[in-house]
A and B are shown apart, each in its own frame.
Chain A
Amino acid sequence: ETGVTQSPTHLIKTRGQQVTLRCSSQSGHNTVSWYQQALGQGPQFIFQYYREEENGRGNFPPRFSGLQFPNYSSELNVNALELDDSALYLCASSRDYNSPLHFGNGTRLTVT
């Protein structure tokens, strides 16, 4: 079975721009969670999508938004990028909202 895949692997954006990160969940998984990992820190929960609906959100501003598609893949959108948004963004999928997470390798976003 294929694991969680994220694209792109690396991205450089300018402050104020908008970015879209993509995630394909593992086969058979209907739940996707997004995490932000700043350099030298542990991952922080951004939000979770279960069957195309947001199912919980961490302490992130509204300019962080997401979407889950009928095939359970997902996007993370960040508007009005700030320098502090530079981080590794991790996507994780699970069989349902009540199952352990399987992480992808992440997208490294650099905001200059």
Chain B
Amino acid sequence: AQSVTQLDSQVPVFEEAPVELRCNYSSSVSVYLFWYVQYPNQGLQLLLKYLSGSTLVKGINGFEAEFNKSQTSFHLRKPSVHISDTAEYFCAVSGAGTYKYIFGTGTRLKVLA
């Protein structure tokens, strides 16, 4: 079985500052890892995914994440945020090859002017 912990429920950050949203997972098997963004009253949009290969994954909207197997982490980063990045961000894990996602509880990113 897998589980996901998002360590911060809310992250306020000023516009154009860097941000890191933390995600740790646990699993006894190989995993796939994902980050999704959810804007108010909308579904989930895939930001990036790690399936295999390079541990540094680049996604849409300037986001990237690094898979760290030894620390069981998959933190999301952006070097310079915009007001439009204000949203809820979810980290998800699935056993490799299953695509039955386990989601974290989410991190609300609030970008301040």
Interface, chain A (partner B; CB < 8 A): 4, 31, 33, 35, 40-45, 48, 56, 58, 90, 92, 94, 97-106, 108
Number of residue pairs spanning A and B whose beta carbons lie under 8 angstroms apart? 59
Contact B103 A42 (CB under 8 A): yes
Interface, chain B (partner A; CB < 8 A): 4, 34, 36, 41-46, 49, 90, 92, 97-106
Indicate whether A103 sits within 8 Å of B100 (C-beta atoms), given known contacts A42-B90, A42-B105: no
Indicate whether A43 sits within 8 Å of B44 (C-beta atoms), given known contacts A100-B34, A100-B49: yes
Contact A98 B44 (CB under 8 A): no
Contact B43 A101 (CB under 8 A): no
Q: What residues on A are CB-neighbors of B44 within 8 Å? A: 43, 90, 92, 103
- Nearest Cβ on chain B to A73's Cβ, whole angstroms: 17
